[in-house]
Structures are given as structure tokens and as C-alpha cells.
Structure 1
Amino acid sequence: MSFDAAYEALTDHDDDARWAYGTGFADPLAGVDTAVPAGVDRAELAAYCVMLGDDALIMSHRLQQWITRSPELEDELAIANIGLDLLGQARLLLSRAAEVEGAGRDEDALAYLRDEGEFRNVRLTERADADFAHLVARLLAFATWRLALLDRLTASLDPVLAAIAAKGVKEVTYHRDYAAQWVVRLGDGTDLSHERMQAAMDAVVPLLGELFVAHETELRLAEAGVAVDPSGLREEFDAVWAQVIEAAKLRPAGAAGMGPAAAEAGAAADVAAPGTGSEKGGRHGLHTPGLAEILTELQAIARSLPGGSW
């Protein structure tokens, strides 16, 4: 298509692939039956949507903090778009949660008006990154796990969750590949980049265990054919993780001389609330100080102008 002016090209929305969430995309839920499936507990379905929505929302916010800090302009755009993809997923999931619970809240209320203990994201999403290597290591872990989850969720008996997952699979496939390419590039690069990439991968390992521990709600909804039991994702995750580590010429262990499981156990005290045990985490509202930092920034305007709209 030809245009008389550059502005016309920028404002044409026919080529959806060029545009971020909310600027010309077809509604992924168009024509989808939004009724809650028979026999499914509405409160539990809403809670599950909040879990997955919070994962995407908090990870998106951390990614956005890297805009203007990335090594190249292309990475600025890539990270910004990954963050926007996840924000789009968060909006759909939190909207579904608000609709199902029927308490008069909307996606904004869930994002901006809940306190730290009410968030249900896994703690991997809330950790700050010391450098770019830490960012791509954490993104690789998150995207590998989420892609495996969303792929299975496309078969959910809840048509809305299945549709959101189908859209998300296409997006998160790119997220995982982007992160993997950078891990390999840095791991198999200079001595300095290799050292930093190894340190970043080691730092992520203690946060992995929580990803595969099922919350009671997840288990009940998985039995009903609505949700995914995260414990069944471990084998696929480990296979991808090992493949990337080998290509990047990194140590497969989470710490020198230790396997990943031992490293997770040894570092559990760093990420678990005192007295709760490592099996309790973000799904139960137990978080690191990083989440409070994120919410202070994320919620500032909405809380300073109650009921405001813009």
C-alpha cells in the first residue's frame, strides 16, 4: 500500500504485526463464550486469573524499567514490546477475573487498588536485575515456564482462558527465543560476558522452585480441566533450560559443585518468608521487598487521584 505522507503509514492499522497491544488488534475474545463453565467455582476461577494476570503485570513493569537502559536501540524496542505483550495479557486476565468474581471491580481496580499481600504473582517476576545479563536470564526462565503453561492452557474448558492462552503462546514464543539468543550470545562471548551471564543464571536458580509448586486453587481447577498443574511443566522447562545452557557454554549447575535442586534448597531462605517454608510463596501473598517497590511506582497516580479517569 502506498501513502502520500509518512503519518498515513504510521496511522494505518491494517498491518497488526507492527503495533502494540490496543492499537488496531482484533479483539482476541471476539465471538468467545464468556459464560463460566458449568460446575466451575467462580471464586476459584477469578483467583486463578488473578494469579496469571499478576505474573504478567509485574513482569511487564520490571521490563519497562529497562527502557533507555538497554545495550542497543533494537533491544529498547524488543523489551518494550515484550513488556506490552505481557501488559496486554494482564489486562485480559484481570478483566476476566473482575467479570467472574462479580464484585463490581474492573482491571484497573485489581491492578491499582490492591495491597502487596493481595497480589498472587510468583516472586521471579518481581526481582530487580543487576545488569542486562540478569534481565535476560530471568526473562528466559519466566518465558520458558509461561510458554509451557499457556500451551497447555489452550485446552482449558474455560473458552476465555483458552483464547487468552492461544494469543499468549504466539507472543511468549518470541519472548523465550529473544532471551535465549541473548543468553547464548553473552555466555559464548568474551570472558567478561561469560562470567556475568554465568552469575546471572546462577542467581535465577533459587527462584525456579516456586514455579512448579501448585497452589490448592490450581490443583482443583486443573482437575476440572480449567487450569494447569504447574508441577507438570518441570520436565519441559528443564529440557529447554539445559539446551540453552549447553549452547551458551555455561555450567549446568546452579552453583559450583551443586545441582539445581541442591542450589534451590540452599538458597530457599533468601526468597521465602520466615517460618513459612519454601513451599509458600507469591501465590500465597508472600513476596520479596521488590514487589512493594514496584507497587509504589505502579499505583502512585491511581491512589493519589481516587476515582480519576484519563
Structure 2
Amino acid sequence: MTSTWQPLDHFLLMRGDDCLVLGHRLSEWCGHGPVLEQDMALTNIALDLIGQARLYYQYAGARLGQTEDQLAYLRTERNYFNAWLVEQPNGDFAHTIVRQFYYDWYENALLEVLEGSADEHLAAIAAKSRKEARYHRQFSSEWVIRLGDGTEESHQRMQVALNRLLPYVRELFENQPRHQMLIADGILSDVNGLWEGTEKEMKAVITEATLSFPVAAALPARGRDGLHTEHLGYLLTELQYMQRTYPGLTW
């Protein structure tokens, strides 16, 4: 993290990075979805997330004297602060749906409290983003139920995905030490306090899907510190290729 970046800058980049990386992952389904309707749905969610990323990057860029493109395309892996969950590969359709399900419930809980932020710009971003986030949560929750309570194979694939990805989820609900002053000033909220209620709501959906909510220890994830799994480097290589090859390229 650059020494001149302030705690709010880190949070804005953290949120923008979550949205951009997950949006890029979902865009990889374009043309490969199981049916045309779901192909289009995933692509539209990807576009929504990338649009949200732009809002955070624009705000951060105004504070840092950089453009949104510079923040997206010219930072190195160690200066990306997304959670490990969003950089995980798509895997099969069940894996993608479960990753989206976990993220959607987190994002909705976060945006709800950010709407009351003392930072009016951040509150406005949250209010605008939450309209889309509610649809994303509805979409992923419906598919968790549909696949979990579907065929024997779809049920098994969903349970495997739930088990595999849950250890990545707790990172989303961890307060960052550098954000403590922002919490004290009412700009951010205690995200750790959001876990209990969110877990309860996710369990209700998973139970309706005839699936079992996993019991798994959290991974020692440090994406918020710029330390990532091997997957992010490959993703950024593809994402940043044109701008790295032709610096300053514009459409």
C-alpha cells in the first residue's frame, strides 16, 4: 500500500477491487453459460459489478489524483485489496453460483449500513449499488435453491461448492485495523457485527435448498493487505494486458 494512501482510500480501493475482480470472473462465462438466459444474466451481473467498481475508483481517483483506468490497470497485484473469495476461478456452474451467493449476502449487508455513512459520497454509492445488489442476491439465492433441491448430481455439486468456498467467506466480515478511525467517525460500520445476522439468513436459504451449511475453519486470508492466492496474478495479466502493452491507450 502506498504510504500516501489514507484509510478511506484503502477502503474505496478494497470495494472497487472486490467488484472489478468478481465482475471479471463472471465475464468469463460470456458465451459459455449453461443456457442463453443464464449466460446473459451472469454477463449483466458482471457489468453491474464493473459499474460499481467504477464508482469506487472514481471517488478514490479524485482523492489520489488518478483516473479510474490508472487504478484498474496500472496497480500491481500487491496493491490490489480484494478478498480471496472473488478471485477464485469459476469452476463449474454450481461453484460460480455459490461464490456469488456468499458474496451477494455480504455485499447487501455491507451496503445497507453504508447507506447511513457519515461520508455522503460513500452513502450515495451504497444507495445506488444496493438496488443492483438486491437483484444479484435474489438471482444467486434462487439458483442455490433450484440446484440444491434439483437432481442428485446438482445437489452434490452444490454441497461440494458450499463446503469448499465457506472458508473464504469470513475474510469479508473482518474489520481492518486501518479502518478503526473510520468506524469511530461513523464513515464505516463494524463489519464483524454483520456476520451473525448474515449467516442466519444464508442458512435459511441453504436449508430450503435441502443442503447443509458447512462447518469449516476460516482461511488466514490476507487479500485486504495485498497478499493473494496464485489466481489473481493470472487474472490481472489478462485484465491489464492492453494497457500494459500500449500505455495510455484509449478507445
TM score, norm. by length of structure 1: 0.78
| CA deviation vs aligned residue, 1:265-301 (integer Å, no higher than 9, x gap) | 4xx3xxxxxxxxx2x5110011011111110110000
Q: In structure 2, what is the Cα distance between the partners aligned to 1:199 and 1:297? A: 28
Aligned to 1:106: 67
CA offset at residue 217 of structure 1?
2.5
In 2, distance between residues paired with 1:249 and 1:124?
A: 24
Cα distance per residue 1:205-235 (max 9 Å; x no partner)? 1111211111123322111111122101101
Choose from 202, 220, 245 the match for 1:304: 245
Kindly indicate whether the alpha-carbon contact (under 8 Å) linking 2:81 and 2:226 is maintained by their aligned counterparts in 1. yes
Query: Among 159, 168, 172, which residue is 2:120 paired with?
Result: 159
Show the counterpart of 1:217. 178
- Structure 2 gap segments, 5+ residues each: none
Give distance in 2, aligned partners of 1:52 and 1:218.
Answer: 13
Following TM superposition, the consecutive aligned residue runs of length 4 or more in structure 1 with deviations greater than 4 angstroms are none
Q: Is residue 61–residue 83 contact of structure 1 (8 Å, CA) maintained in 2?
A: yes
**For 1:239, what is the secondary structure of its paired residue?**
helix
Matching residue's letter, 1:171? E
The alignment status of 1:97 with 2:60, answered yes or no, reads: yes
Q: Which residue of 1 aligns with 2:40?
A: 77
* Aligned-pair CA distance for 1:84: 0.8
Q: 1:152-301 counterparts in 2 under 5 A? A: 152-252=113-213, 254=214, 260=215, 263-265=216-218, 268=219, 278=220, 281-301=222-242
What are structure 1's unaligned runs of at least 5 residues?
1-40, 255-259, 269-277
Once the two structures are overlaid, the 10-residue window that deviates more, 53-62 or 69-78, is: 69-78
Q: Which fold has the larger relative contact order, with Cα–Cα distance below 8 Å and residues 6 or more apart in sequence?
A: 2
Secondary structure of 2:201 counterpart: helix
Aligned to 2:13: 50
Matched position secondary structure for 2:217: helix
Which residue identity does 1:51 align to in structure 2? Answer: M
SS of 1:208 mapped into structure 2? helix
Paired AA for residue 193 in structure 1: S
Percent of pairs with identical residues:
43
Shift of 1:238: 0.4
Q: What displacement does 1:42 show? A: 7.5
Q: How many residues align?
A: 248
Q: Radius of gyration: which is bigger?
A: 1
SS of 1:264's equivalent?
A: coil
- Provide the secondary structure at the position in 2 that maps to 1:114: coil
Report the TM-score, using the length of structure 2 for normalisation.
0.95
Higher-helix-fraction structure: 2
**Structure 2 residue 85 is the aligned partner of structure 1 residue 124:** yes
Kept in 2, the 8 Å contact 1:42–1:100? The answer is: no
